[in-house]
Structure 1
């Protein structure tokens, strides 16, 4: 069986190709993909060739780790039934191409342990679970350690920043402040304030979470910390990072890197969505059919009004 997949042949060279699907093995599921999201962080760097050396990196590659679809065949003895809508955090089922992260395709074969059943009514919003889990992990540590202090200041009001702010509010903690320099992205706050940096006089933040991926901000952010405060790098940075030592020394600043989410984070945010504590509304701004993937990627990476672009695979699934 063939699967139509987005393939980055080289940086900024995209095509939709028919790739062979492997035969279903014990413990595996075949997924008919309904929607997949385009990541403006790591996937943008794969697209433009600026991704630092990373396991599985190389071209041609199939991107995508924000996928939702239905189980159409099962060779697994599990609670995942045929017809179930599931979230799929990528796949590695294609030969002849790199699968980083392998989820942008019309059909996938994955292990049953990889997927997470989602509520039927979520629809395309289920693709946002990956970013929600990333935001959750920045505070939770993936369930492998004690939770960290929640953000008082968040840098960036894209989808990641919005989810991190919503999670903080949902937890009952004081609402964070969010910095955003692009006026087109300042709207849409739910229970927290969005301001431009120059309009924020505060310089005693205990915790600052940067989700912008802009390494040039480090010095200005360190100067906003109180003594002993923590700067959390929760974006993905393509350049080597550096900062002025003296201001960090004077504040005895701490710096922490939040890595990719773990399965406990994904399960936790799925439960928060299921119980209504976390809303995914208002975050998907653009949808295009998968047959127009080229223009969809250009819009996702070039249009500031595009918070999240969704590829609709209904015509090719």
Structure 2
């Protein structure tokens, strides 16, 4: 059995390749992929070649950790059954290529312990589960400790910023302020306010969550924290941090990094979406067929109007 996969042959160059799938082993299922999301954080730095060397980003590689599909083969005794819709946070089932993170393909063989059953009706919005869980983790801490203070300022109104703002409102906290410098991305707020940084004179925020990925903003953001406040850098970061120690000391600022979700975060997001407390609607702006993968990646990383790009694999299912 062959699977059609997106392969980054080298930075900024991809191809669609037919890769062999392994035989199913005990505890594994085969998934026919319906949709896979393109991450503008982790996948961007795989695409442009700036992923830190310690992450093992050698080429060629198969990207993708935001995958939705249906179980089509499940051996007797498997936890999941044929026909179930599942979320797949990556796979490692191909030889001859690295899997970072291996989910952008038409078919996958994956452990039934790794994937997660979801409701059928979510459709392509389900690719947002990993990003929503990342946003949730930034506040929840993965269920391993008491939750952190929710944001009263969010920097960046991309998908991550919108999810974090929606989660904050859904939890009953005061609606956060959101900074956005791109006029195209300032629209679409639901229950909170989006403003330009230069229009904000508040310099006493308790908890600032920066989801922009721009580490050059650190000094600016530290100056906006009240004494004893916290600056959270959430999401994908691949640059070293530099900031004025004096400014941070004056405010006794705490700086926390948060970038990965845990299974309790995914379980919590699943429940919030299922019960209608959190909406994933309106965040996917572009969908292209897998055959147009090169154009899709270029749009995802180069078009400011593209909040979220999804590859549609249904023609290969």
Smaller-chain TM-score bracket: over 0.9
Deviation at 1:142, TM superposition (A): 0.8
Q: Which residue of structure 2 aligns with residue 134 of structure 1? A: 134
**Structure 1 segment 1-317 matched on structure 2, within 5 A:** 1-75=1-75, 77-317=77-317
5+ long unaligned stretches in structure 2: none
Specify the SS of the correspondent of 1:188. coil
- After superposition, the C-alpha distances for 1:215-257 in whole angstroms (9 at most, x for unaligned) are 0000000000000000001032222111011111110100111
CA distance in 1, matches of 2:61, 2:212: 25
Contact 2:235–2:260 (CA under 8 A) maintained in structure 1: no
Query: What's the CA shift for 1:76?
Result: 5.9
Q: CA deviation at 1:79?
A: 4.4
Q: 1:80 offset after TM fit, Å?
A: 1.9
- C-alpha change, 1:296 and 1:76, in structure 2 (3 Å) is farther
Post-superposition offset of 1:279:
0.1
Q: Structure 1: which 4+ aligned runs deviate by more than 3 Å?
A: none
Alignment: residue pair count: 317
In structure 1, distance between residues paired with 2:54 and 2:208: 27
Of stretches 73-82 and 129-138 in structure 1, the one that deviates more from structure 2 is: 73-82
**SS of match in other structure, 2:315:** coil
Check the 8 A contact 1:227/1:251 in 2, yes or no: yes
Q: What displacement does 1:115 show?
A: 1.0
Deviates more, 1:81-90 or 1:51-60: 51-60
Q: 2:134·2:235 contact (CA, 8 Å) conserved in 1?
A: no
With the length of structure 1 as denominator, give the TM-score of the two structures. Answer: 0.98
Distance 1:76 1:204 in 2: 59
SS at match of 1:283: coil
Q: Contact between 2:26 and 2:78, CA under 8 Å: does it hold in 1?
A: no
What's the secondary structure of 1:217's corresponding residue? helix
Partners of 1:267 and 1:54 in 2: how far apart?
29
User: Aligned partners of 2:110 and 2:281: how far apart in 1?
Assistant: 28
Contact 2:35 2:67 in 1 (8 A): yes
CA contact (8 A) 1:64 1:100 kept: yes
Contact 2:155/2:179 (8 A) holds in 1:
yes
Which range moves more in the overlay, 204-213 or 234-243? 234-243
- Unaligned runs of 5+ residues in structure 1 are none
With normalisation by structure 2, the TM-score equals: 0.98
Cα RMSD for the two superposed structures: 0.9
Q: Any conservation in 1 of the 2:59–2:97 contact (CA below 8 Å)?
A: yes
